[in-house]
Amino acid sequence: MRIVEVGPRDGLQNETATVPTAAKIAFVDALSQSGVAEIEVSAFVSPRWVPQLSDASEVFQGITRYNGVLYSALVPNRKGLDRAFAAEVDKVSVFTAASETFNQKNINTSIAGALQRFRPITAAAGEAGLPVRGYVSTAFWCAFEGKIAPRAVVRVVEQLMDIGIAEVAISDTIGKATPDEVRRLLDLLIPRMAADRIAVHFHDTYGRGVENMLAAWPYGIRTVDASAGGLGGCPYAPGASGNVATGDVVAALEAHGVNTGVNRRQLDRALEHLAPYRTDDRRKLPPDGSPLCAACPHSTGENCCGRYQNPF
Ligand code: HMG
Ligand code: MG
């Protein structure tokens, strides 16, 4: 299984705390030594939309490139591609969705508009010899539209293939998919697209990321996204929690006799570079009877998700 470590992008885009550029660079450098095949380092998106990743160019400039590791980034438009070229990325990823509402909220255009925007990106990246990944978000569920029909996902995948995408990442943005839903989609998709061009990207909101990844394995899917420590989410998908944790994916695969070549201790070492900046410390339950906790619309009564501005 090829493990794509998306923590530096999907994880850090969702941290409320500001992580200094130097810490991001140290995080990526440590991940480079963990044995993962690919690292999604950052995103060349609008800094107005995702200020957490506005230092994407500086991060790329500061990291050490290790042989055998591919360094990729998200690009939403031509401007992002030009910034990615200047940063000498190895691979770029465009991103759209199977849900119109989420697409609009995330990249401010329709699905058709996104595909039109991506066409010159795949052409220019192709000329430069860069592979392009295409994410299909909300491939199972959407926070705004609910259940998404597998046929709608296949339609977007086919359109991405038509414009020259090398790989698609089937993405469970809000982490609500079940293994049966994964199988239903892959039953429809696999006859239309080779398994070695499909990656799976599961968020772990309901703790089903590992199960879902294992459900994809018999279909020949051999690329999985994960983030160290389960960092992550999407700022434009309410309720989206972190990606499935890289260590959990590695442990599950190893339990099934699959050697990933990824060293879990090194993943922990990488996370240490972020520890001083993560908001987890503020995610302890506030004192008993706190009016803030009582008012928080996200409270489960068990822990604090940190999404309600509180001073603890
Ligand atoms: P817009 O506001 O329609 O675009 O945003 P615009 O062209 O009007 O630009 C607005 C401003 O941003 C302008 O600046 C542009 O120059 C600037 P101003 O003139 O106002 O100062 N700008 C840029 N700056 C730097 N780099 C760029 C860039 N583009 C514009 N590339 C846009 C449209 C697509 C840009 C915006 O909606 C955007 O950046 N969205 C990104 C949102 C995002 O990153 N979401 C999270 C990633 S997706 C995700 O997490 C899901 C995934 O993990 C899979 C899954 O789990 O489902 C991949
Ligand atoms: Mg994601």
- CATH number of the domain encompassing residue 200: 3.20.20.70
Residue 306 belongs to a domain: no
Pocket perturbation via mutation, ligand 1, pick of 15, 38, 46 by most ligand atoms within 8 A of CB: 46
pLDDT of residue 293: 54
Ligand 1 pocket check for 277: Cβ under 6 Å: no
Rounded CA separation 272/120 (Å): 40
Ligand 1 pocket check for 78: Cβ under 6 Å: no
Give residue 188 CA to ligand 1 midpoint distance, Å. Answer: 31
Q: Nearest ligand, CA of residue 85?
A: 1
Ligand 1 pocket check for 11: Cβ under 6 Å: no
Residue 67 belongs to a domain: yes
CA 16 to chain centre: 17
Residue 129 belongs to a domain: yes
Per DSSP (E only), the strands in 153-311 are 167-172, 198-202, 223-226
Give the contacts of 84 (CB within 8 A, at least 6 positions apart): 44, 73, 75, 92
Q: Specify the number of domains making up the chain.
A: 1
For residue 50, which atom of ligand 1 is closest to its CA?
44
Is residue 211 within 8 Å of residue 278, measured between CB atoms? no
Residue 142 belongs to a domain: yes
Ligand 1 pocket check for 46: Cβ under 6 Å: yes
What do you get for the CA distance between the two ends of the chain, in Å? 41
Range(s) of the domain holding residue 106? 2-283
Rounded CA separation 279/311 (Å): 11
Ligand 1 pocket check for 172: Cβ under 6 Å: no
Is residue 41 within 8 Å of residue 63, measured between CB atoms? yes
Q: How many helices and strands, by DSSP H and E, does the chain display? A: 11, 10
**Residues designated as active site:** 234
Ligand 1 pocket check for 167: Cβ under 6 Å: no
From residue 261, how far is each of 30, 83, 140, 250 by CA, in Å? 15, 32, 30, 9
At 72 the three-state DSSP class reads strand
Give residue 180 CA to ligand 2 midpoint distance, Å. Answer: 20
Closest CA to 87 of 63, 117, 107, 118: 63
Per-residue pLDDT tens listing for the chain (312 residues): 999 999 999 999 987 777 999 999 999 999 999 999 999 999 999 999 999 999 999 999 999 999 999 999 999 999 999 999 999 999 999 999 999 999 999 999 999 999 999 999 999 999 999 999 999 999 999 999 999 999 999 999 999 999 999 999 999 999 999 999 999 999 999 999 999 999 999 999 889 999 999 999 999 999 999 999 998 766 776 767 899 999 999 999 999 999 999 999 999 999 999 988 876 543 444 545 554 455 555 666 665 555 544 332
Residue 294 belongs to a domain: no
Is residue 200 within 8 Å of residue 212, measured between CB atoms? yes
Pocket perturbation via mutation, ligand 1, pick of 9, 40, 45 by most ligand atoms within 8 A of CB: 45
Residue nearest atom 21 in ligand 1 by C-alpha distance: 48
User: How deeply is 283 buried, as exposed, middle or buried, from its count of CB atoms within 10 A (0-12, 13-18, 19+)?
Assistant: middle
Residue 297 belongs to a domain: no
Closest CA to 227 of 1, 9, 2: 9
Q: Nearest ligand, CA of residue 93?
A: 1
User: Mind giving me the DSSP string for 161-189?
Assistant: HHTT-SEEEEEETTS---HHHHHHHHHHH
Rounded CA separation 137/203 (Å): 11
For residue 75, which atom of ligand 1 is closest to its CA?
31
Residue 293 belongs to a domain: no
Ligand 1 pocket check for 234: Cβ under 6 Å: yes
Residue 301 belongs to a domain: no
